[in-house]
Structure 1
């Protein structure tokens, strides 16, 4: 396992800046999730880590060894990294076993070195070794791709949107298998994804890349509960944003006077809460607000309920409730908020 350190990393294509001084450190044995929307620079950063591209500035170090920086550049094949692409990219003319050992020295390839061990590690039976890749499901192919990446015992594994082509049920199953294999080997891994649920559920550490800049690097819980910007709040899950006035540890908005997770200077703010923090009740309470249900999006185990506040006709909010408690359209309810809110100062132009 290796530690990854990136400092001041910059990259541009045709004078168009893509990465702006990215700094990050990934500790040994950590599954690090790099999250960001399309065009944020995630793929470019991954290509720099792999050595497929050379940085314009800054340094990359793997386990204390500089692999890219002023006056130094280590080619991909000498970086001791494993790479798992989006589609697995297995060779169709080779068996599963031959795919797994493809990057090993000739003698180890002939002996199918560690094939049984690696198949077991990624949760596949030994009799899959002689199958062709096209005889496997998409999730099984991704597991074989991981086994191939782990075969040379790399210090670092890079995973590029490895579950994006799988259906929902298979994606969850494959995620668990991949995370379990990485944990068992203690391999340091960087997972690049635009899928918020994937990043939050898998990443022991999560960083968000936004327009080529790292805007937040924290635990999954911190990223979700206290996102650094209002834009990030809306990107990482559903967010209810309401105009309000901050006063130290509290902010007043259409849903009442709410406690803040961090104090904010007095003044105009956007108040952010998550839909699951909004509670619906049939009866009023001292802190509740009356509302009418105008839409219900039923998802099975939960439902997203759109409500119009009675005392603020132009104000609508979205609540997430258990599916069996989904109200009916036009039903009158009372809203209250559980937990802390986050406040973002408004600029003078807002």
Structure 2
């Protein structure tokens, strides 16, 4: 397993800057999730790490060895990297075993070196070794692709949105198998994804790439609970953004005076509340706010409820409630916020009709 270090990485295509001085460090044995929307530069960064492209500036070090930057450029085949593409890209003319040993020296390919061990590692039976890739499900093909990447014992594994083509149930099952295999081998891995749930559930460390810049690099909980920007708050899960005033360690908004998880300069702010922090109750209690249910989006084990506050009729919020306690449209309920919230300074008040551009709720 290797440590990955990226310093000041820059890349431009046709005079269009794609990466702007990216810095990151991935410790040995860590599953690192790189999250970002389409067009943020994730694929470009991955291609630079693989050696498919050369950086215009900065440096990439793998286990202390500079592979791109000042000094000689190290080609892909000499970087000790394993690569798992989006859809496995298995060779249809080779068996599963043939695919797994494809990147090994000829002698090890002949004896199908480590095939049984690697199939067991990714949770597949040994008799799958003789099958053709076309006889496997999408999730099974991705597991074989991981086994192929692990076969040469690389120091670093790069996974390029490997679960994006799978259906929901298969995606969860395959994620668990891949994460388990990586943990068992202790391999350092970089997972590139635009799926927030995937990044937060798999990543021991999560970084968010936004318009070619790394805007936050922290634990999954920190990224979700204390996102660095209001745009990131709305990208990583549902967010209720309400206009308010920050005073000391609190912010006052339509849902009351709420404690802040991070101090901010006093003044006009956008208060960020996660929908699961908003509790619903039929009887009123101290500190609760009356609201009318406008819409319910039932998801099975939970539901998103859209509500209008009675004291501010133009103020809409959303709350996440358990699936067994879903109110009906038109019900009158009472709301209270649990836990600490985030606040973001408002330096310039936009026109009223533009204030909900990045929000799932408004006030």
TM-score (norm 2): 0.96
3-state DSSP class of the match of 1:246?
strand
3-state DSSP class of the match of 1:317?
strand
CA apart distance, 1:96: 0.2
CA apart distance, 1:117: 0.2
Question: Take 1:247 and 1:133, find their aligned partners in 2: how far apart are those partners?
Answer: 61
3-state DSSP class of the match of 1:148?
helix
CA displacement 1:230-264 (0-9 Å, x = unmatched): 00000000000000000010000000000000111
Q: Equivalent residue for 1:233?
A: 233
Q: Equivalent residue for 1:135?
A: 135
Question: Take 1:132 and 1:260, find their aligned partners in 2: how far apart are those partners?
Answer: 56
3-state DSSP class of the match of 2:261?
strand
Question: Take 1:37 and 1:43, find their aligned partners in 2: how far apart are those partners?
Answer: 11
CA apart distance, 1:265: 1.3
CA displacement 1:289-326 (0-9 Å, x = unmatched): 00000000011100000000000010000000001100
Question: Take 2:139 and 2:248, find their aligned partners in 1: how far apart are those partners?
Answer: 50
CA apart distance, 1:348: 2.6
Q: Which runs of 5+ in 2 are unaligned?
A: 351-363
Q: Equivalent residue for 2:208?
A: 208
Larger % of strand: which?
A: 1
Question: Take 1:72 and 1:253, find their aligned partners in 2: how far apart are those partners?
Answer: 57
Q: Equivalent residue for 1:28?
A: 28
TM-score (norm 1): 0.99
2:117 equivalent to 1:117:
yes
2:304 equivalent to 1:304:
yes
Q: Which runs of 5+ in 1 are unaligned?
A: none
CA displacement 1:99-138 (0-9 Å, x = unmatched): 0000000000000000000000000000000000000000
Question: Take 1:215 and 1:285, find their aligned partners in 2: how far apart are those partners?
Answer: 40
Aligned CA-pair RMSD: 0.5
3-state DSSP class of the match of 1:263?
coil
Question: Take 2:144 and 2:153, find their aligned partners in 1: how far apart are those partners?
Answer: 15
2:174 equivalent to 1:174:
yes
Question: Take 2:118 and 2:32, find their aligned partners in 1: how far apart are those partners?
Answer: 22
Structure 1: 4+ residue segments shifted above 4 A: none
2:318 equivalent to 1:318:
yes
Question: Take 2:233 and 2:186, find their aligned partners in 1: how far apart are those partners?
Answer: 32
Aligned length: 350
